Each structure stands twice: as structure tokens, then as C-alpha cells.
Amino acid sequence: MIIEALIAVTFLAALVTFVVPNRYAGKAAFALSLAPVVGSLYMWQQYDASGNALLGGNIAFETDVAWLQLGQYDIHWMVGVDGISMPLVVLTTILTTLAIVSAWTPISERQSQFFGLMLLMEANLLGVFTALDFFVWFIFWEAVLLPMYFLIGVWGGPRRKYAAIKFFVYTNIASLVMFIGFISLVFGLGDSISSFRLPEIAQALQAGQLGSFAGLSAGALASVAFIAMFFGFAVKVPVAPLHTWLPDAHVEAPTPVSVMLAGVLLKMGTYALLRFNFTMLPETARAFALPIALLAVASVIYGALLALAQQDLKRIVAYSSVSSMGYVILGLIAYTTYGVGGATFQMVAHGLISGLMFMAVGVIYNTTHTRMVSDMSGIADRMPVTAGIFVAGAFGYMGLPLMAGFAAEFFIFKGAFESTVMEAMPLFTGAAMFGIVIVAGYLLFAMQRTLFGPFRFDGDYDITEAPFHDVAPLAVLLLLTIVLGVSPDIFFTMIQDAVNPILELGGAF
Amino acid sequence: MTTKPQLKLGSHLVPGLAAVALFVVMAVVFLGASFPNPQGFAEGANITASIGYSMFNLDFGDVAGEGFLAAFIVIAVTLDVALDGAIHLARREEGGQMRTILTDGGRELKRTLFDDEEDDR
Amino acid sequence: MVPPQYYLLLSAAVFCIGVFGLLTRRNALLFLMSVELMLNAANINLVAFSLYWGNVTGQTFTLFTLALAAAEVAVGIGIILVLYRNFDDVDVTNATTMRW
Amino acid sequence: MAGILDFAPAIVLLPFLSFLIALGAGRYMPKGGALAGIGATAGSFVLSIATFFAVSGGQTYNQTIYTWAEGLDAINLTFGLLIDPLSSMMLVIVTLVALLVHIFSLGYMNDEGETGLPRYYAGLGLFTASMLGFVVADNLLMAFMFFELVGLCSYLLIGFHFRQDGPPSAAKKAFLVTRFGDYFFLIGVVAVFATFGSAAFAGPDAFPVLAEEALAGEHSVNTFLGMGEQAWFTVVGLLVLGGVVGKSAQFPLHTWLPDAMEGPTPVSALIHAATMVAAGVYLVARMYGFYVLTPTTLAIIALIGGFTALFAATMGVVKKEIKQVLAYSTISQYGYMMLGLGAGGYVAATFHLMTHAFFKALLFLGAGSVIIAMHHNENMWDMGGLKDKMPVTYYAFLSGSLALAGIVPFAGFWSKDEVLYETLIHGLGGSPILLAAYAMGLLAVFFTGFYTFRMVFLTFHGEPRSGTARDPHGVRWNVKGPLAVLGVLAATTGLVNMVPVEKLFGIEGIDFLHQFLDGSFSSLNAHHYAELIPYSSGYIGGEAGTVAIGAAVSLGFALGGAALAHVLYNVPEPVEHTDKLGSIKTVLYNNYYQDEYQVWIATGVVQPISRVLDKFDQGIVDGVVNGISSVSLFAGGRVKRVQTGVVSNYAALLTLGLTALLLGLGLLGGWFA
């Protein structure tokens, strides 16, 4: 029941925040958001699952109640966590709280609505990461979009309407395609399943129950469903060339929303890819290894090169997210412990580090009211603490050892290199790894121009050190990044435990 | 001064051709259709009387009239609602705010939510 | 017994007259009248076939329709009043603010 | 039993502690946290000395101390300590140089009133800790991680004066160029894991041993891309070498190092002598058991080394600034070490690594002293005549210069001579590549002698050429002390390994370093490497004769260079003789346009590509997305006009639709028949 309590408390927190007066909304939202943090940490401490939730593993905090009946299918309220979702739940709660604190400075109107929407989004995200019934999962999945749409569309920058609509329409079309793909699988399974519960569907697929549907043989149906679902999730991830909504959304969104977007929302895509495509249809995934690996490498290199050409600090980080997410795809297709486990670890690591980077950019923006690299230089002179954390975060992004990003990237590289899905995986891995050079290039260039050198600022604002509550979330994130980098086993053990059953399906052993 | 009705001809009658066409089609169809033998009511059956009887739960009617009773009740309620609705619509409102929100196609709502002044495409 | 074709032709004629009115008039009150014609065209059919098949359902339905027509007129007049208040006219072609 | 080696982790942790202290509390401490750093490095130094003697006594230590990532159904990734003669020697070098640099910094930074000292000392502490962690690493992954941390620290320290334009740029360049090398190194690490399932340097599953067994056919390993074992090992070796070339500033990734002179001079000393640059060469020595298995890789190492030695030495000839000369000499000297390793002279290269650490640290600190005296003017043409004003600095600097130039009996002579000797005999044994590398190395000796003494004469001899040189700023004990210590070491460390003396005069047992490195793990000692060397030896006139010829030739070249410098520059009023080189000087002064082409790659190739891609992304990829939306909007805008809002129109459409429907159904259903 603790998951229900977690989600319900977060919903209630959102409702309460909606009616709190604007001037107290930020503080209230922060206080209320501590409840899910405590709850998720308690869950983590009590966590006792083993194996993969979809493949007959032991699920932690499971609830399974028949809810509705839809034709021959039952809809269950089924929630629970395993080693893949547990870290993401913790990431979601912590990052939301920090994002709320980082919103105190930049959000100056309609605060109660803003913070209420943030909490509402958190509740839905928790639902996405814990739901184990397709119907319930899909409701949460779609419900995440709504708060995000308003958060970008109401509190965003000058082109916020364009960005919000683009985000909403793009991801919604993707959801539709994904939905068609998944439902065709369900129909292909015919009478062998009696509900939309993901474990049941995954196990039926694993048992070879997939029949033909709509004139497609079982194999062709699996391929079509795989491609449809991959497209749907790839938009969310995003994988090049389906990424163009992301920079616009990031640039227009206010900083805390960018933090949530990059930190958690993108992980929905990779999480779903892992849960659906790579767990349910492993043979199909291996058959498509070449195009998927190509897309992964393309995302990494293309995203990184694009980041190099940007002038807006937020756009730089946004494009580098595309690059980092490419690593996740590479790790997933590897079908090795370190590959898939590293990809899952990267979801958490990138959540922390990209959150850190966006927040750091936001803190600078709060003071300078510009994010253009060319508008400033030598900011470190006036904002030494912020600049120091910015540098540390940037090095984390570049994959500095003993920070979470390196652990994740190394796991992925190691896993991808020794992968058996393709003869040429070492070449793809080597190509993707070149991303670590480009990422260093653009971040170092950006830092050199903005933070260092003689102080210069083309604007009318006084540049002084940011207030404590702006810097504190950065410091917390930095600390978490280092802790995870020094001791990745905090999450990596449970991740591997949940990931290994998938690999057995994928024929890695 | 009173005027007598005048037939006004003009281009505004052109859409009426559609109605004429519809009539033509329907007439052709109806005239070409064949019907089975009629059954009709029992000879001398009085439906109104049957309704009356069923109203007092008597069994003298020639046709089953209970169905009408339900219809009457529903009609009564419907007419009542319609009357109230008509009065509500016709009443002059003081505020005006609510009405504009409901009848302007959502423009006002959008303006308040998104604070934008420019026209959307 | 009168062959049903005659009833049908009559009802079709009444219906099409109503439609003709809808298509060629712009006055909202005339619209209401036209709609009344169309409804009664349907009533003709209902009653005719009720007699033809010896089934009272058709007549019951006619009563429904009559009541609905009355209700519709009540609401319709109310709408026309609002229309007049907002547009100073009962010309239906003016009330196009909700088109897009 | 708790031996002294169980305290080895403290060697690494102490400087790390000083980093934390300086970062957290440095601003509240006297001297900006310097004392914490001095204490920590002194402690590490003492422990290192103890470790060194314990290892000399035959003890070794190879233990996993922390599991970084535990693999379920997969291998574990661990941190561990490997203390063997090589690492214990390096520990002593690093801690000693770090300690002296900390003390020197009191004079160079504190006394000069620099701001941001806590940041500086935190950086030094982390730098030392990272390097020590790298030195004691027992596997390739841990080595890589600390290798990268070393890179981070170099970035922070080179860019210490971040309020100016130059240092941040130089720091960025240093990190980026070495990152480029590390990219290959990281692939190499991953490849080693994938090939051997282990990346340990020593122990039962040490990857060099596994590779050796695999080549002998006793053991099978995974190879990739359809390559044979020999070919694959060569590829892996070259990949790891990428990191070495980057960090040790070998051609073509040497360009970051001269720019790195933007950092404070003590940092330069640390980078060049003991930490960052040494890391690359140390890595090759660390996994030498793997490199000796692949002759191709060895030959490439030797060629890179020889070429870099010569190439950098020629550039050092024309520089005006004292630190620039030293920077190019560093590149050149690390070239010698690479040459030695590539030529199979494991001990020789290690020897040179040690002697170089001392004399190069000395030279940088001496240069720092001169720079203090000259009020931070580094141009040698503004100096002159400092010999009498600052005798301690002069004699220490002279000792270092003699060592650098390779003049007997200073340290550099012995080690450089041994490197060249190993190259020569293995070249004579039938390897023309090594002979070519030897020729380049030998030629570089001449240039080394020349630029070293050009620097000495311009700085200290002749008449003062500027006001500041006539009245230099004094330096205190904290500058002179480290100089004196290093001056003595630069003069004497060569004596630990006098192989030529042993060979010529037949005195057995004075090659202490050889004996020292022969101890410990059987798979990691010099003897084992010597057996695996794929070269045979050839001699001119027997072993002793070759030794004598080699030593005489290299000493002759060095003296020749020094003599030329003496003739040209040891005059009261030297002139810029290098001007006579004409356009060659321009080429040399611009470093053979190496920087230009690398900057061109970055700004002339990669940036335009990224800009074109950006246009492509905005125009085509996003254009398609926006195009779909525009088409929908346009179509919707047209279609919506059907909704006129006029009831009559809707009614007409309905009527027409109904008519059409009836017609259609009627025609299909035969109602009109």
C-alpha cells in the first residue's frame, strides 16, 4: 500500500498547494514535497524485491486488484517496484523537491498554480514508474504531459506557446503510435492473456503465445509492434532525428521545469523502452540491433556536434541531453549486464547531472537575465560558488571519474563493447565514445567564455553571488552525483538484479 | 398599414433546390416501394378509451395503453424543464462576465490563462 | 385503407417544405416554424404506420414528439431572445461568432 | 601482521585530506591551507620512504581494497593497491616533489600576495592525491580514473588565474588535448576488459600474463572484429597508447604543454616533473608486460619517442621565455623515456623518469625563483647577470641544467645514456627502426645541450639587460630550501645506476636500480620483461666497446651543444643569433605550426561542421516537423471555412448529404428498379 500512499500524498500535496496563497506556495510545496522524498527513501530502505518485475521476479510493495472489465480483458490496479524502477522513484522525488526549491527565485507570479502543477507532475511520474498494468500506466503516462504543457506554456519564455504545443503534440502523436503498437501485440496474444497486466503480457510473449493478427504473422506482428513502440518511446527519449521538440521546450521552459524535463521526463522514454521493447520483444530487438545501434551512435555524435554550435547555455545542455540519451540506447541494445544495467544507471546519473547543469544555468540566468554565451564573461569573478559548482557539474557531465556520469558511461561502454548482438559492436561503441571528447569541447568552450576571463557583462544588472536557497539544491545534487560515482553499487546491484533476467531472454548467456 | 404576403423571388431561393431534390428522390423511392399487407387495429378499437381505462388500472381497453402513461409523465417533466430553461435563457443577466466566457468561444479564458494579446492564427 | 405511399408522400412533402424554409429563410422565428413542420412530417409517418401495423407505439411516440416540439419551441424562443439581445437582430446569419 | 605496507592507502588519502581541508577551511587558516598540504605531503613522503625500504627488503603488496561496482553474473570492478618496486619508487618521487612544491609555493604564492590560495592548495592536494592514486593503482580501470582526475586537476591549476584571458584558454586546451588521447585510452580499457575479463596489472589474472599465455596458446581470450590475437593485442596496446601520448605530451598531442605554462610556476614543476606528464610514461612502464608482447607497438612507441625528442628540442632552441624553453625540454625528455621503453630499455626509461623528475622539478622551481626575482617577467632577453645576485638559485639551476644536458656525472647523463645505449644495441640487433630512432635521439642530445646552456647563459651570465635584472627581488628560505635539496639530488641520483661504469670497469653490483626493479612479482620485474623483449642485441666491438662508444658519442654531442651555446651566448651582450636561421626560425618559433593546424581542426573543421549540422537540424529535421504542423494548420485553415456559422449552410449541406446518401443507397440497393 505504500506506493498508493506515496502517489496519493503527492496528489494531495498538489491540491493543497493549489489553494495556498501565492506568497507561501513555494515554501509549502517544498515542505509537502518532503513527504514523498521520505516515503521513497523508506521504500528504498525496505526494498526486498529480486528479479525483474515483468519476468516473474519478486515485486516489492506489490498491489494487484481487479478494477475494471473491458471485454475479455480485466484492468487491474497493479503497482510495484523492482530494481529498475526503484532508483527512478527515488530520483523523481528528490529531483522534484530540489526543482521546487530552485523555483523560488525565478517564479514570481501564479506561484500556487506553478508549484501545484509541479507536484501534480511528480504524482503522475511516480505512477508511471510504479504502474505494472498497461492501462494504469498509460493513464499516468499521458497525465504527465498535461502539467508539463501548462508549466511550459504559462511560465515559459517568449516563444512558450510554440514550444508547449510542439512538445504536447509531438509526444502525444508518439504516444498514439506506441499505443497502436502495443495494442496490436495484445490482440496478437488473443486468448492467452486475460488482463493488461504487464507481467502477464511479457510472460505470454516470452512463452511464444503471440499469434497472427490483421493478416500479419507472429514474427511480422512483433516487428511492427516493436517499430511502433520504439518510435513512440524514441520521441520521448529523444533519439535523433526525433529530438527537435527538446531544445525548444528546454529553452522556453523555466529552469525548474527544464530540470524536471531533462531529469525525469526523458527517463520515461528510456524506462519504457527497457520495459516494453527490450524486455517484451528481445528477439526482435536483437534482429534490429544494427539500426538501433546506428541511431544510438547518431544521437550521441549528432547531439554533441549540435551542442557545439549553440550560443544559448540552455540549448547546449539540451542538445547534450540528446547525446547522453544516445548512450542509454547503446547500452540497452548491448544486452549485457553492464550494458543494460549501465543504461539504467545512466538514467539516474543523467537525471542528477543534467538537473544540476540546468539549475546552474538557471542560477546564472536569474542574476544576468541572459543565457547567451557572448553576453558575458568572467562571471566566476562575481559568483565564485555558483561558478565552482558549475565547473564541477560540467566535469560530471564530461564523465569525470568518481562522479555518477563516468560510472554510467563506463558501464555502458564496457557492456556495449563486449556485446554479442553484433560482430561490429566494438566499432559502434568506439564511435559513440567519441562523444566524450566533443562534450568536453563544448562545455569547456562555454565555461571559458562565460565563467572565466576578465569580467564583462552587457547588461544593467548587478552580478552578485546567488542566494543560499539557489545554491543549496546545486550542492545537494553535486553531492549525490559524487556519492553515486564513488559508490555506484548503491543502485547498480539492484539494477543488475532486475536486468539480468532480460539478458537471459535476449540470449546473452 | 398591413401588408399581404408577397412571393419574393431571388437567388436566396437557390439552396431550396436541395429540398426539392430531396423531395424528388424520396417521392421516387416511396412510389417504387412495395408494402406487405396492412394489419390494422381490431375493428372498432378505441385507443383513447383504452388509455383512459388503463389510467385507472381497468381492463376494458381494446389495446394495451399502459405505455402511454409513462409517456405522459415524461412529457410533463420535459415540458416543465423546457419552461424553466426558457425562462432562464430569456432572463436578463446583471454580471455578464459568465456569459462572455461561455459564449465567446473560450477566447477570454485563453487570454486570462496565457496572458497573450496577439491573435492566434 | 389508404395505401401508405400517400402518407409517405404527404410527409415527404411537408418535410421538404420545412427544409425549404430552413434553407431559404434567415429569420430565426421562421426557422422554428420550419422545424415544427419537419417534426410533424415525422409525426404523420408515425401515426400512419401505427395504424397500418396496428401497434400503438407509433402513437405514443407521436405524443413524445409533440411534447418535444413544445419544449423545443420554449427553449428555441429563449435562445432567440438571447440572440436578439446580443446581436440586435434575429437574423441567423449574423450569429457566427462561434464558427472557428 | 600489520606491516608498513598496510599503511599504503594513507599515502594517497593524506593529500586528499589536505584537499578537503584547504577547500573547506582554507580561508580560515593561516597561509591559506598551505600548512595542511605541507603536513599531508610530508606524511605521505615519510610513508613512501618507509614503503620504499620495505619493498627493497622484498615486501610487496597487491590487494583489492574497495569494490567499486559489483557485477552479478559479471566481473567486479575494483580499486586496489599494487606496491612493487616501480610504484614504490614513483611514490617517493611524487611525494618528494609534491612536498617541495608545496614549500616553494609559500614563497611563490603566499609571499607574492596571490588571492585564492585555498583554491590553489586544494588543487595541489587533489593533484598529488590523484597522481598517487594513479601510481598505486592495481588495475587499468582505476589507473584510468585517476589519470582523468589528474587531468581535471591540471585544468584547475593551469587555469588558476582565471580572471585573465590566457590561463582559462590554456587550461581548456590542456584538458581537451589530453581528453582526445584519453578517448583512445578509454576504448583501450574497455577492450582490455572485454578481451581478458580482467584489467589487473598483477596477480593470477593479470592481463599482461593472460596475453602472454594466449599468445603461447595456453589460454584463449576474446578477440574482436575477426582479428588474430597478435593483431588485436597490437590494436589494444595502441589504443591505450593514445592516452599516454596525450598525457605525456608526445607528438602529435604535445601542443597543450607549452600553453600550460600559463599556470603558476610551482604547478608547472609538479605537472612536468612528477605528476601529469609522468603519468603517461609511467603507464607504459606499468603495463610493460603487455607492450613487450607486440613488437609493432614497441616500434611505434620508440619512433614516437625518438621523433618527439628531436622535434621538441629543435623548438626549444628559439624560445624567448625561460618557462617555454623548459616546456619544450620536458616534451623532449619524455620522448627519451618513450624511446627507452619502445627500445626495450625498461630500466633505462624508468631511470630517466626518476632523474628527470628531480632535475626538471629543480629547473622549474629555479625558473620560478628567477621569475620572482624578475617581478614575473619571464623573458630571458630581459635577464642576464643574475649569477651574482642569486647564487643559490644559480648553482642549483646549473646543477639541473648539467643534468638536463646530460653532462657526466650529473643524473641526466647516466639515464639518458642508458636509454640511448639500449636503443643502439637493440637497433644493431637488426631493427632499422630503432636505429633511426636512435639517430634522432642522438641528434636531440646536441640540441638539448645547446638550448639548456643558451638558457643558463642568457639568464645568469653576461650583463643585466633590464632594470629589474640589475636589482632583482630577493627570495626567501622557502624558495632556496627546495632548490638546494633538488640541486643535490640532480647531481647525485645518477649514481644509483652507473651501468657504463659497471660494464667498462667490470665492477659488479653498482646497478642498484636494475637490482631493485628485478625484485618482487615475477611477472612485473625487469628480468621478466627482458626475456620477452622481441629484439636481439648487437654490439660494436663487444659490450664494453659499445658502452664506451655510446657514452662518448652522446656526451660529445651534449658538450658540443653546450660549447656552441657558450660561444654564442656567454658574452656580456648576447644577440639573437637565432635570427640568422631566417625562415627556419619562424617555423621553429611557431612550433612547426602544430598549434595552428590543431586549432584549425577545432575551429576550421569541427565548428563549421557543427554549424552546418545546426543549420541542417534547424532547417531540415526541425523543418520537417514544423512542415508537418504547417501543412496541418494550413489544411485545417482551409477546411474550417466550411464552418461558416450560418445555420442555413449547415442545413443545406445536411440536405444535400442526405439526398446523396439516399441516391447512393438507392442505386446500390436497387430501389429505383
Kindly list the residues from chain C whose CB atom is less than 8 angstroms away from the CB atom of residue B67: 56-57, 60
pLDDT, position D594? 76
End-to-end CA distance of chain D: 112
How confident is the model over C23-62, as pLDDT tens digits? 888 888 888 999 999 999 999 999 998 888 888 888 888 8
Q: What are phi and psi of C74, to 5 degrees?
A: -60, -50
Could you give the CA distance from residue A211 to residue A187 in angstroms, rounded to a whole number? 9
Looking at every residue in chain B, the average pLDDT score rounds to 75
Domain count for chain D, please give it: 2
Kindly list the residues from chain D whose CB atom is less than 8 angstroms away from the CB atom of residue B21: 655-656, 659
Is the model's pLDDT at B116 over the cut of 70? no
Instruction: Give residue D189's Cα distance to chain centre.
Output: 17
Spell out the SS3 assignment of D553-612. Answer: HHHHHHHHHHHHHHHHHCCCCCCCHHHHHCHHHHHHHCHHHHHHHHHHHHHHHHHHHHHH
Minimum distance, in Å, between the CA of residue D652 and any CA atom of chain C: 6
Q: Is D505 exposed, middle or buried (0-12, 13-18, 19+ CB in 10 A)?
A: exposed
pLDDT, position D657? 92
Q: Does B13 reach chain D within 8 Å, measured CB to CB?
A: no
The residues, any chain, with a CB within 8 Å of residue A401's CB and separated by 6 or more, are: A485, D144, D145, D146, D148, D149
Q: Are strands D61-69 and D77-83 parallel, antiparallel or unpaired?
A: antiparallel
- H helix and E strand count, chain D: 30, 2
* Option in C17, C75, C98 nearest B82 (CB): C75
Q: Cβ distance D486 to D396 under 8 Å? A: yes
Q: Cβ distance D648 to C93 under 8 Å? A: yes
Is the model's pLDDT at D241 over the cut of 60? yes
How confident is the model over D409-438, as pLDDT tens digits? 788 888 888 888 888 888 888 778 888 888
How confident is the model over D370-411, as pLDDT tens digits? 888 887 777 877 777 777 778 888 888 888 888 888 887 788
Q: Cβ distance A308 to D610 under 8 Å? A: yes
Give residue for cell 561558478: A387
Could you give the CA distance from residue D189 to residue D144 in angstroms, rounded to a whole number? 8
pLDDT band at B119 (very low <50, low <70, confident <90, very high): very low
Kindly list the residues from chain C whose CB atom is less than 8 angstroms away from the CB atom of residue D651: 19, 22-23
**Side-chain-facing half-sphere of A380: CA atoms under 13 Å:** 25
Q: Where are the domains positioned within chain C?
A: 4-93
C-alpha distances in angstroms, D70 versus A169, A328, A338, A454, A485? Answer: 43, 20, 10, 46, 13
Q: Which three cell numbers stand for residue B95?
A: 454580471
Cα B4-B6-B9 angle, rounded to 5 deg: 170
pLDDT, position B108? 60
Looking at every residue in chain D, the average pLDDT score rounds to 84
Q: At residue A21, what is the residue type?
A: P
- H helix and E strand count, chain C: 3, 0
Kindly list the residues from chain A whose CB atom is less than 8 angstroms away from the CB atom of residue B114: 153-154, 161
Is the CATH number of domain C4-93 3.90.700.10?
A: no
Query: Which of C34, C52, C99 to mutate: most B Cβ within 10 Å?
Result: C52
C-alpha radius of gyration, chain D, whole number: 31
Is the model's pLDDT at D67 over the cut of 60? yes
Dump the DSSP string for D229-284. HHHHHHHHHHHHHHHHHHHTT-TTS-THHHHGGGS-HHHHHIIIIISHHHHHHHHH
Q: Which three cell numbers stand for residue D144?
A: 584510468
Could you give the CA distance from residue A83 to residue A344 in angstroms, rounded to a whole number? 10
Would you tell me the crossing angle of helices D85-105 and D276-286 to the nearest 10 degrees? 180
Is the model's pLDDT at B97 over the cut of 80? no
Could you give the CA distance from residue D306 to residue D440 in angstroms, rounded to a whole number? 6
Q: Which three cell numbers stand for residue D34?
A: 598551505
Residue D96 lies in a domain: yes
Q: What are phi and psi of D304, to 5 degrees?
A: -60, -45
Minimum distance, in Å, between the CA of residue D657 and any CA atom of chain C: 13
Is the model's pLDDT at B94 over the cut of 60? no
Domain count for chain A, please give it: 1
How confident is the model over D262-285, as pLDDT tens digits? 888 888 888 888 788 888 899 998
Q: Cβ distance A332 to A308 under 8 Å? A: no
How confident is the model over D624-649, as pLDDT tens digits? 888 988 998 899 889 888 888 788 88
pLDDT, position A330? 93
Q: Which three cell numbers stand for residue D210?
A: 593472460
Cα C22-C26-C28 angle, rounded to 5 deg: 80
Could you give the CA distance from residue D573 to residue D465 in angstroms, rounded to a whole number? 8
pLDDT per residue rounded down to tens, chain A (509 residues): 889 999 999 999 999 999 999 888 999 999 999 999 999 999 999 888 888 888 888 888 888 998 888 888 889 999 999 889 999 999 999 999 999 999 998 888 888 999 999 999 999 999 999 999 999 999 999 999 999 999 999 998 888 888 999 999 999 999 999 999 999 988 888 888 888 999 999 988 888 888 888 788 888 999 999 999 999 999 998 898 888 899 999 999 999 999 999 999 999 999 999 999 999 998 888 889 999 999 999 999 999 999 988 888 999 999 999 999 999 999 999 888 899 999 999 999 999 999 999 999 999 888 888 888 888 888 888 888 888 999 999 999 988 888 999 999 999 999 999 888 888 889 999 999 999 999 998 899 888 888 888 888 877 777 888 888 889 999 999 999 999 999 998 899 899 988 888 887 765 44
Is the model's pLDDT at B106 over the cut of 70? no
**Which of the listed residues D119, D137, D155 is the one where a domain comes to its end?**
D137
Is the model's pLDDT at B45 over the cut of 60? yes
C-alpha radius of gyration, chain C, whole number: 17
Could you give the CA distance from residue A26 to residue A11 in angstroms, rounded to a whole number? 16
SS3 (DSSP) at A65: strand
Q: Determine the residue of chain D that is closest to C24 in CA distance.
A: D648
Could you give the CA distance from residue A150 to residue D393 in angstroms, rounded to a whole number? 70
CB spacing of C97 vs B67 below 8 angstroms:
no
pLDDT, position A411? 92
pLDDT, position C100? 63
**Which of the listed residues D137, D159, D180 is the one where a domain comes to its end?**
D137
Q: Enumerate the H helices of D463-525 as residue ranges.
A: 467-470, 477-492, 499-505, 512-517
User: By residue range, what is the domain housing residue A218?
Assistant: 2-506
Find, among D178, D619, D617, D193, the residue nearest to A301 by Cα. D617
Instruction: State ipTM.
Output: 0.80
Cβ atoms within 10 A of the Cβ of D642, count?
10
Q: Determine the residue of chain C that is closest to D652 in CA distance.
A: C23
Minimum distance, in Å, between the CA of residue A151 and any CA atom of chain B: 11
Give residue for cell 589474472: D205
Cα D403-D408-D409 angle, rounded to 5 deg: 80
Q: What is the mean pLDDT of residues D582-611?
A: 79
Could you give the CA distance from residue A340 to residue A327 in angstroms, rounded to a whole number? 10
DSSP state of A463: -
Q: What are phi and psi of D570, to 5 degrees?
A: -85, 60
Q: Which three cell numbers stand for residue A122?
A: 511528480
**Where on the phi/psi map is residue D593: left (φ > 0), alpha (ψ -120 to 50), or beta?**
left
- Which helix (H) or strand (E) covers residue D168, if one does? helix D166-196
Q: Determine the residue of chain C that is closest to B105 in CA distance.
A: C98
User: By residue range, what is the domain housing residue D131?
Assistant: 1-137
Find, among D53, D14, D136, the residue nearest to D87 by Cα. D136
**Which of the listed residues D137, D160, D187 is the one where a domain comes to its end?**
D137
Give residue for cell 503471440: A210
CB spacing of A492 vs D70 below 8 angstroms:
yes
pLDDT, position A508? 45
CB spacing of C100 vs D640 below 8 angstroms:
yes
Write out residues 57-116 of B within 8 Å (CB-CB) of D: none
pLDDT band at D614 (very low <50, low <70, confident <90, very high): confident
Could you give the CA distance from residue C54 to residue A406 in angstroms, rounded to a whole number? 86
pLDDT, position B103? 53
* B&C contacts, CB < 8 Å: 119
pLDDT, position A461? 79
Minimum distance, in Å, between the CA of residue A154 and any CA atom of chain B: 6
Spell out the SS3 assignment of A92-134. Answer: HHHHHHHHHHHCCCCCCCCHHHHHHHHHHHHHHHHHHHHECEH
The residues, any chain, with a CB within 8 Å of residue A39's CB and separated by 6 or more, are: A2, A5, A6, A9, A93
Dump the DSSP string for D614-659. HHHIIIIIHHHHHHHHHHHHHHHHHHGGG--S-HHHHHHHHHHHHH
Could you give the CA distance from residue A364 to residue A375 in angstroms, rounded to a whole number? 12
pLDDT band at B121 (very low <50, low <70, confident <90, very high): very low
Could you give the CA distance from residue A57 to residue A504 in angstroms, rounded to a whole number? 13
Q: Is D115 exposed, middle or buried (0-12, 13-18, 19+ CB in 10 A)?
A: exposed
SS3 (DSSP) at D519: coil
Could you give the CA distance from residue D319 to residue D299 in angstroms, rounded to a whole number? 31
Write out residues 62-91 of C within 8 Å (CB-CB) of D: none
